[in-house]
């Protein structure tokens, strides 16, 4: 019996396009790795809810290298929403850095990363 191969869709979903920027959200741990290390460029912005399992979020500018602060804040809201912190009553800490500052430790499970430099935004989870 011959097995048919089904082409899998992208490892992420494009959630929004805001002010010339595209916000991409990973779907699962292995997809997060693909989004972070294959799709994202070093100058793209990377976000993740601090201390919670959840989707990696990548923001890429479609018009140059600049991403407005309100776009990063919107992406942080999405990172908080697409994490175990979704039902948090207060603000959620979300780490933000350039994708080039995200590293994978050898042997680390899918989706687990280390950050070299980052800042933290506090936002309410919002779809």
The predicted-structure confidence for 14-62, as pLDDT tens digits, reads as follows: 778 888 899 999 988 889 999 999 999 999 999 999 999 999 999 998 8
Q: Given a cut of 90, is residue 75 above it in pLDDT?
A: yes
Tell whether 112 is covered by a domain: yes
Query: Domain containing 100: what range?
Result: 12-123
Question: What's the pTM value of the predicted model, to 2 decimals?
Answer: 0.87
Tell whether 7 is covered by a domain: no
Q: How many domains does the chain have?
A: 1
Tell whether 1 is covered by a domain: no
Q: Beta strands of 4-84 (E only): which ranges?
A: 12-18, 21-26, 45-49, 57-61
Give the pLDDT confidence score for residue 9 in this predicted structure: 61
Q: Taking residues 68-93, report their average pLDDT.
A: 96
Tell whether 116 is covered by a domain: yes
Tell whether 58 is covered by a domain: yes
* Block residue for tokens 């780490």: 95
Tell whether 6 is covered by a domain: no
């Amino acid at each position: 019996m011959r097995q048919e191969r089904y082409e899998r869709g992208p490892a992420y979903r494009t959630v929004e396009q805001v002010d010339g920027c595209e916000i991409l959200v990973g779907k699962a741990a292995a997809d997060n790795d693909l989004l972070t290390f294959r799709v994202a460029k070093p100058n793209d912005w990377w976000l993740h809810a601090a201390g919670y399992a959840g989707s990696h979020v990548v923001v890429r500018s479609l018009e140059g290298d600049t991403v407005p602060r309100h776009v990063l804040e919107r992406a942080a809201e999405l990172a908080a929403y697409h994490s175990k912190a979704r039902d948090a009553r207060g603000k959620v800490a979300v780490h933000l850095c350039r994708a080039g500052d995200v590293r994978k430790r050898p042997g680390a499970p899918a989706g687990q990363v280390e950050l070299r430099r980052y800042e933290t935004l506090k936002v309410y989870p919002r779809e």
